Structures are given as C-alpha cells and as structure tokens.
Structure 1
C-alpha cells in the first residue's frame, strides 16, 4: 500500500506541459474526412403533439419520391435526420417546401461541415405568400421586395404569376422566423396621401395558433390561452390566413385552352394540327381510291 502512495506523490509533481505543447502531425494516408452530412437535411416539426414516426416516414417518402431512396432517422423528439443518396433529390426537397405532416410544419436546414445535426438552429422557413388587394400599379418586383422584407425576408418574386393580365394577387417567397407571430396585413399610404390595406395569405400553411399567431402550437397549448383559462382571449388570427390550393384538378379541359405564359403552346398545337391534317389527307385519299 505504501508503494502506491509513494507513486501517487511522485506523479503529483509530474509536468506534462512540454509534451502537450509539442507539434503533432498525423501519419501519411490520414486525411480529414469530408462532411458526412453532405447529403443530409435536418428537420424539426412545429408541434406539441406526438409524431407518428412510421406514418410520417411513409408519407414524406411517397410525397418526395426520391429517385435513389431516402433514410429517415429520429435523433431527438420531433427532430429528424433525412439522408438522401442523390444531391438532386436533396435540393428538390430543400427548395420545394414548405412541407408538413399531420398539419405540423417542418423546418428543414442543411448541415454545415463543422456542425452536428442537433446543433443546427431550426428557426427559419421559406414560404410562398400571396399579397391580396394590391392595386395593379404596385405589382412590380421592387414593391415585392419591400413587402417581402416586411412580412419576413424577401427570397423570390414570381414573375410568371405577377405578370398575368388578370392577376389576382402578388406572389412572393419569403423566409420567416417561426419564433415570431405570422404577419397578417399592412396599411399602405400612397404619395398623394390616399391609403389602402393589403392582406397576406400563406400557401401550404399547416397548424398555427389563432390566439398568438405562432406555428409552434395550437390554441390548446397556447400559454396566453392557458393563463386566461380560455376566457376573453381575442383570436386575431384565423384560417383565412391559409391560401387556397393554387392547382385545382380540371375535367374535360379543352386542348384549345391556353395559359397566358405558355410559350410552347403554338409549337405543341402545330404538331397536333399537322398530325390532324395528315390523318384527314390519308382519309381523303382512301375515299378517292374507293371511288
């Protein structure tokens, strides 16, 4: 026992500073690994409810249809790692949002090279919004950028939608901070002193709280609602913030119907007409031969 005590006393005065400060290099052949999350996205569902993981995986895989498949792994409650096997699949999902499952919005992000998935802040989401009741003279991209920065942070301007003759609203893409309430409207004053109010509608918007405007919960879990026991809580947000689906399945659409910005319509119809004339000529020739 005394021998071990003497050894411990000796080690107490051992100085390893020189060893720690010596230069150290790895042997040849040892290289720093590239980002192992290069083909991954990390995402968090904005909900107080439990996520049915199995159903979510199946649903998103069916919606996204990644050509090389996808692996989805839960790394923390409501936080998931989405591993792709083809960069085009990853980019399509990353740029095609917002996504949701069971009406719970999904905040997704790429993973920086030096970071771990759980360290990535998941607070920002890109969404398309519709700005209604905007006078025709204010449909420019310059106006869109200013409005985008008011409702969130401007990302993109939908030229195809906003240049239509019968345009009903301006469509812009913004980045929003999910820690802040959804903005609903804005009063605009013209240079001549007259004013008008524009309304904002969010495309593909899932659950959110009608009492405080946050997407992280519904009224049932809202602290404002709980503190007031649901009494006298004015709901200043509502389902009217959701934009209706833009694409409605049409039946028996005529081939002669043309979209305003369909530049390929004439070429496509030219082929159709040419083929039609060819069939008529063949039919006419057959009739003549019979005669």
Structure 2
C-alpha cells in the first residue's frame, strides 16, 4: 500500500516517469457492445452544419415541438455540434425520418438513425430528393438517371416517371447543381434541383456556411470589410 501510494505521488510530480509513444491512439474497448447497440438502436444522431447560425441547445428544445413529440422524446447534447434524440417507439422514429431532410434556423443539418460507426465526421449523410432537368426525352431511362445520380451520391430510390431520385449525399462535399451531358458528340446541360434545400453557399456549394462567409472569395479584401459584407449577406438571407 505504501509503495503504491509513493509511486503514485512520484508520478504526479513527474519523477521517474518515462513517456513513450505519447501520441499513440488510446485503445478503446467495449465490454458489452450488444447491450449498448440495443440501448441506442431507438435513437437518431445528428449534427449541425452551420455552427454560426445553429445553437444545439435551442435546437434540442425546438425540434421535438415541431414534430409534436415533446413528451415522447429525450435528447442529449454530445458536444462539437453533435446531438442525440432518443425514442421509445419505433413508429415515432420512422415518422420523423420520413420528414427529412432537416433544417434548423433555415440551415441544413444531418439527422440519421444511429449506427455504431467510429469516425470523427459521423454522421455526414443527408438524403435529398433530387429532380433532374435537361435530359433529352429519348435518353430518359433508368440507366442514364442512375449514372447521373451516382455523380451526386448513392442512389437509394429512383422514380422514373417523376424524374427524381432519393440520393444519399455527403454533407462534407460541395453540392453539384449542373453537369454537362454528352451524346454522339453533342452536349446538353443537366441541372439538379434539391427538394427542401435551405441556406448554403452559392459560391462553393457547401452547406456549412453562406456566401458571405465563403473562404474561397474576397480573400484580398480587408478583414473588416469581409466581416461587414458577410454579416449583411447573412442577415439578408435570414
């Protein structure tokens, strides 16, 4: 007992300690992974994309009210813009999922059913219904739509007659709004319309900021002018 305590005190004072591989990742283990997965299987995990405009604490108070489930959902702030909604009923969870894609304060957010994924960026997928415009009628077929949708992300559902697809899109990457299509040496412009897409950067296509805050423009302007211009743009968009 005495030796252990003395060694502990010595360690606290930095005596006789040799630190090796200090930058090595800390090994994480699960003692009962199945139990944890079962506990959170009725949860939705989310992440705000525009931290300047989206307050997680207020979001957790507002969203259940919008869904008319104030007394049916509990929530947790996970930090770093991440959060959790916990459901007690499978049907309630599915009914909320059907309302996506989601936004708060007119800025997009990620909200998906929780999965045991280990990654700093998780979650990052937003499922958008996307309408395709500009394909010549005689080229309007499943193969062409799937090829086009594959450029945007993973095609989950395709509705040929409606001319739209449900696509899982990576929120970390810029949205695409136009592409060129080619057939027998001739080109056409193909456009993409995202249903329920709210504020995003019209310059770079990212959903994490608006045009006034885009780092790809106005880099040569004085900082004070950039801030003032960005603020005016954000206010006008709001």
Q: Provide TM-score, normalisation by structure 2.
A: 0.70
User: Counterpart of 1:47 in 2: which secondary structure?
Assistant: coil
Residue 143 of structure 1, CA deviation: 1.9
Residue 66 of structure 1, CA deviation: 4.4
Where does residue 285 of structure 1 map in the other structure? Answer: none
Any gaps of 5 or more consecutive residues in structure 1? 10-25, 163-169, 232-291
User: Counterpart of 1:224 in 2: which secondary structure?
Assistant: coil
In 2, distance between residues paired with 1:34 and 1:126? 26
User: Counterpart of 2:216 in 1: which secondary structure?
Assistant: helix
Report if the CA contact (8 A) 1:131-1:199 is conserved: yes
In 1, distance between residues paired with 2:65 and 2:137? 40
Where does residue 134 of structure 1 map in the other structure? Answer: 135
Where does residue 18 of structure 2 map in the other structure? Answer: none
Any gaps of 5 or more consecutive residues in structure 2? 8-30, 226-238
Where does residue 33 of structure 1 map in the other structure? Answer: 35
Residue 211 of structure 1, CA deviation: 2.2
Aligned length: 198
Where does residue 181 of structure 2 map in the other structure? Answer: 188
1 or 2, which has the higher strand percentage? 2
In 2, distance between residues paired with 1:174 and 1:214? 17
User: Counterpart of 2:40 in 1: which secondary structure?
Assistant: coil
Residue deviations 1:171-220 (CA, integer Å, cap 9, x gap): 111111122111111211223x3321111111111111122111111123
Report if the CA contact (8 A) 1:97-1:126 is conserved: yes
Query: Which protein is bigger by CA-based radius of gyration?
Result: 1
In 2, distance between residues paired with 1:67 and 1:48? 24
The yes-or-no answer on 1:215 pairing with 2:218 is no
The yes-or-no answer on 1:204 pairing with 2:206 is no
In 2, distance between residues paired with 1:204 and 1:86? 26
Q: Which runs of 4+ in 1 moved over 4 A?
A: 52-55
User: Counterpart of 1:89 in 2: which secondary structure?
Assistant: helix
Report if the CA contact (8 A) 1:68-1:85 is conserved: no
Change (3 A) 1:119 1:187: closer
Change (3 A) 1:221 1:88: same
1:68-217 matches, within 5 Å, as 69-113=72-116, 121-159=122-160, 161-162=161-162, 170-191=163-184, 193-217=185-209
User: Counterpart of 2:35 in 1: which secondary structure?
Assistant: coil
Change (3 A) 1:137 1:225: same
Report if the CA contact (8 A) 1:148-1:172 is conserved: yes
Higher relative contact order (CA 8 A, sep 6+): 2
In 2, distance between residues paired with 1:214 and 1:119? 19
Q: Could you say what the CA RMSD is over the residues aligned between the two structures, in angstroms?
A: 3.3
Report if the CA contact (8 A) 1:148-1:155 is conserved: no
Where does residue 274 of structure 1 map in the other structure? Answer: none
Report if the CA contact (8 A) 2:155-2:165 is conserved: yes
